[in-house]
Amino acid sequence: MTTTTASFAARTVFRIGYGALQLERLHDRRGEAVALLRRAVELGVDHVDTAEFYGFGFANAVIREALRPEDDVLVVTKVGADPNPGGRLPLRLAQRPEQLRASVEDNLRSLGVDRLAVVNLRRLDTGPGLRPEGDQVVDLDDQLAVMTALRDEGKIGAIGLSSVTLDGLRRALPAGVVCVQNAYSLVSREDEEMLQLCAAEGIAWVPFFPLGGAFPGLPKATDEPAVHAVAESLGATPSQVGLAWLLHHAPNVLLIPGTANAAHLEANIAVSEIALDAATLATLDGIESRSNDVPIG
C-alpha cells in the first residue's frame, strides 16, 4: 500500500483531491454541485483545485458556498488565463504581470477570501494546449516578480507552476515553489526528470490529464491492454488503475481527478485503497511513454 497523505504547502493533505473543472457540467443544477463538493469533503478530500475560468466563475462560486472554514480544505487556484465567454475557446491567455495580478484579485473576490492559499502560475511552455503569442509571450522572471510581490502583500500564500519546463522550474526554485502541475500520466511520462527534481525539493507533483487522452490523438491509459488486464485482476476499473499507478510511482504525487458524478467521485477516492505489487508495477512501467505535446489550434 502507498501512503495516503503527502506534504503540500507546509501542510499534510490526503493524496486524492478534487479538480473543480467538471463542476461546470452542473451549471443548471447548482444544488447538486454544492452537494457533490460536500460529499468530497465527507470522503476525506482536503485539497480542491480551481480557477476563475472554470465555468466562468461557477466553480469558484460553488466552492465558496459549499466549503466551510472548519473543513480546513486547501483551495488551490491558478492564473495565466481568464474566462472568455462567447470566444472560440472558453478562456483567453492572461500572462502579463498586470493580468496575473488582476486574476488574483478576481479569484479573491469570487472565492470570498482575503488570501489565496496557493496560486499556480499557468505557463504555456509545454504539454498539450495553447502557446502564447504576441504580448502574451512573457519572461518567467517578470511573472515570478509579481507573484512574489503578491505573496509578500499577503494576497497569496504560496506559488505553484503549471505547464512549465524543467529549465523553467530550475529558474523558479529560488522564488519558492510548492507544487508543479503538468500533463503527466502512465502513457506520457516525458517529465520524469522534473518529477524527480520535485521529489528531491519537497515540491508536490499534481498531474493534470492524469489518464492522458485529453485531446483527440493523444495516448490514453485506459486504451492500454495491460491496464485492462490489471484492472480485471484487481476488480477495479482501468481509470482506477491509471490513477493508482500515479500514487505508487512517486510519494509526492497528488491527484485532482474531476467529476460531476457522485459515484465516480467515490470510485476516484477508492483509488487510495488499491495496492499494486512489484510485478504489477513492473508490467505497468513497461507501457511505452508517448508524447502528449499536441497543441490545439
What pLDDT does 78 receive? 97
What percentage of residues in the chain have a pLDDT greater than 70?
98
Contact assessment for residue 116 and residue 96, using Cβ atoms and an 8 Å cutoff: no
> How confident is the model over 224-234, as a mean pLDDT?
97
Instruction: Give the SS3 label for residue 21.
Output: helix
Q: Which run of H or of E encompasses 248?
A: helix 238-249
pLDDT, tens digit, 9 for 90 and up, residues 238-281? 999 999 999 999 999 999 999 999 999 999 999 999 999 999 99
What would the grid cell of residue 9 be? 504547502
CA atoms within 13 A on the CB side of 226: 16
Residue 174's pLDDT band (cuts 50, 70, 90) = very high
Q: For residues 62 and 92, which has the higher predicted lDDT (pLDDT)?
A: 62
Q: What is the mean pLDDT of the chain?
A: 94
Q: Is 54 a catalytic residue?
A: yes
What pLDDT does 294 receive? 59
Active-site hit among 14, 53, 54, 58: 54
What pLDDT does 297 receive? 44
Residue 129: pLDDT above 80? no
Burial class (CB in 10 A: 0-12, 13-18, 19+), 12: exposed
Residue 89: pLDDT above 80? no
Residue 286: pLDDT above 90? yes
Q: Which run of H or of E encompasses 14?
A: strand 11-14
